[in-house]
Amino acid sequence: MRKESPLAGETIDVIGGGFGGLTTACYLADAGADVTVLERQDRLGGAANVLETDGFRFDTGPSWYLMPDVFERFFDHFGHDPEDFYTLHQLDPQYRVFYRDSDPVPGAGTPSDDDIDPPCDWVTITSDLGRTRRTFAAYEAGGGEAFDAYLAEAEHTYDVGMEHFVYEDRSRFRDLIDLDVVRLGPGLKMLGSMQDHVASHVENPKLQQLLQYTLVFLGGAPHNTPALYNLMAHVDFNLGVYYPEGGMYSVVEGLADLGEELGVTYRTNAEVTDLQSTTTGFALQTSEGRRRADRVVSNAPQAHVERELLSPGNRDHALDHWDDQTYAPSALLLYLGVEGDVGPLAHHSLVFPDDWDPHFEAIFEDPAWPDDPAYYLAVPSLTDDGVAPDGHHAVVALLPIAPGLDDTPERRQEYRDLVLDDLADNVGVDIRDRIVYESSMCVSDFAERLNYPQGTALGLAHTLFQTGPMRPSHRAKSVDGLYYVGGFTSPGIGVPMAFISGQHAADAVLEDARGKRDLLSRLGIAR
């Protein structure tokens, strides 16, 4: 089959070994291309990397394994299951939410977990929908019925949206002129904000937060994310939360193993410093020397490629174009090795203030370090004793912040102390004197290590005007044979979306290659 492929005999270089680059490489190699992944860091993974030290193992990037159907679909394309490459555990509880500065609500959390006694209101979300329904009912009259209605709508949106708007690449406006889109589009909540949509179902601010917190995975806020993303409730409550043994980096390792099986070559410490179109393809200057390729797929952001790698005549945009985009949040990440227990924290825990609007405003409207932040904690050692020494836990704290902020050592220390003090005072978990290892990552690291514009941690935010065909295309407009993949293109941000983006980018390459071969055949020219 490979000999008959339009890509047989073609060399394709993939710039960047993140999830988008690794999945694209697998598809292209399977289609017969000679594929090399060029990664500037000393190991694959891009933002999804790993920190191993003193017996601790931390995922430095994504830590939630959501939408297992996307991973299954990807590996099935190659005749595999995910568990051929890594072991999955379904989390129960899936996560715990702490509402600081707020007294517990009877029936919401405490009666179900008498051994958990934080000094604030809190809820535990499990795979038991009946329990979640009772939680909603405890906060608001009719909350259980509202939860059922919202979840049913979210499931419909997910089924239709994934099949017709996500798995099918509709990254061009002409792709929306389709009978399926015309027929199905009006039944989806395409317009309006998530804030208005959620508020039409529940009034209680805590329930609204439960239905909206997943927007952080998309790099958006309730007021600027389209209501279409109500589908994330189906992802959250129906599909479940999983954990790959060893952490999310195990997925990176699994993709690398699959790629090797398909014939992909990986070169780490191979930074691309120049990219030029030639009459026979592309010339790439790397830290290892000069290379030639027929086509190039960039998992590096288009902003970086246009600013730093391409000559002016090959750019799709003026350089200041990238300053005007809405980027997803950056983050202050703390990697903490902790001696002793972590009290009521779950594998995934979220800590919310009563009013999180000022925090979102500090990210998207008036960029500043937040005064009263929401934050997230991952403790994978509660599930996997292989990621921390005996008697210790690996704890990752994540504070979302605006991209582009200064993150001086003094500022990092200030907010490190703020998070740990708040965790002790309002959640009842004091780890301040039990930290045996500590490291951090922030805006400047995302900008310098990953070339992410303004130091975003995720990509382009999912605002209404940066969704679907209004996100950057997989194809470069000014240079034939150059493609883009990852969280700065469609379908968007998140690990599952990066997997699907890899399929879309590879499909674009295949479509163009078939078109070229058909043209040469009609002209009677053998390639």
Q: Check residue 173 and give its pLDDT.
A: 47
What's the CA dihedral at 209, 213, 219, 225 to 10 degrees?
-50
Q: Which of 456, 513, 442 is nearest to 487 (CA)?
A: 456
Q: How many Å apart are CA 358 and CA 337, to the nearest integer?
A: 31
- pTM tops 0.85: yes
The per-residue pLDDT for 462 is 77
Q: How many CB atoms lie within 10 A of CB 473?
A: 18
Which pLDDT does position 515 carry in this prediction?
78
Please state, in angstroms and rounded to a whole number, the distance separating the CA atoms of residues 282 and 480: 10
CA dihedral over 21, 457, 416, 373, signed as positive or negative: negative
Query: Could you check whether the bond before residue 491 is cis, i.e. omega within 30 degrees of 0?
Result: yes
- Main-chain dihedrals φ then ψ at residue 526, nearest 5 degrees: -80, 140
> SS3 for 214?
helix
**What DSSP string describes 262-286?**
HT-EEESS--EEEEEEETTEEEEEE
Phi, psi (deg, nearest 5) at residue 492: 145, -155
319 burial class (0-12, 13-18, 19+ CB within 10 angstroms)? Answer: exposed
Report how far residue 326's alpha carbon sits from residue 215's, in angstroms, rounded to the nearest whole number.
Answer: 15
- Cα–Cα distances (Å) from 450 to 29, 249, 299, in that order, read 25, 17, 10
Specify the DSSP element, H or E, that contains 88: strand 88-90
CA distance 105 to 103: 6
- Three-class DSSP category at 17: coil
pLDDT at 523: 59
Residue 526 has what pLDDT? 54
- Residue 34: phi, psi to the nearest 5? -90, 105
User: For residue 18, what are its two tokens?
Assistant: 């993140």
The residue to which tokens 């203030």 are assigned: 353
Q: What is the pLDDT of residue 228?
A: 79
Q: What is the pLDDT of residue 49?
A: 97
What's the CA gap between 203 and 196, in Å, rounded?
Answer: 11
Which pLDDT does position 162 carry in this prediction?
Answer: 82
First to last CA, the chain: 18
How long, in residues, is the chain? 527
CB 492 within 8 A of CB 467: yes
Q: What is the pLDDT of residue 185?
A: 54
The 3-class SS string of 449-515 reads HHCCHHHCCCCECCCHHHCHHHCCCCECCCCCCEEECCCCCCCCCCHHHHHHHHHHHHHHHHHHHHH
Q: Beta strands of 133-271 (E only): which ranges?
A: 242-244, 265-267
**Which one-letter DSSP state was computed for residue 479?**
S
Please give the average pLDDT of every successive group of 10 residues along the chain, which has 527 residues.
71 98 98 97 96 97 96 97 97 94 69 64 93 93 96 91 74 52 54 85 94 82 83 93 98 98 97 95 95 97 95 90 91 98 96 92 94 96 98 98 96 98 94 98 96 93 71 90 93 92 96 75 58
Strand order in the sheet with 482-484: 265-267, 34-38, 11-15, 295-298, 482-484
**Alpha-carbon dihedral sign for residues 151, 155, 157, 161:** positive
**Is the separation of the CB atoms in 403 and 330 below 8 Å?**
yes
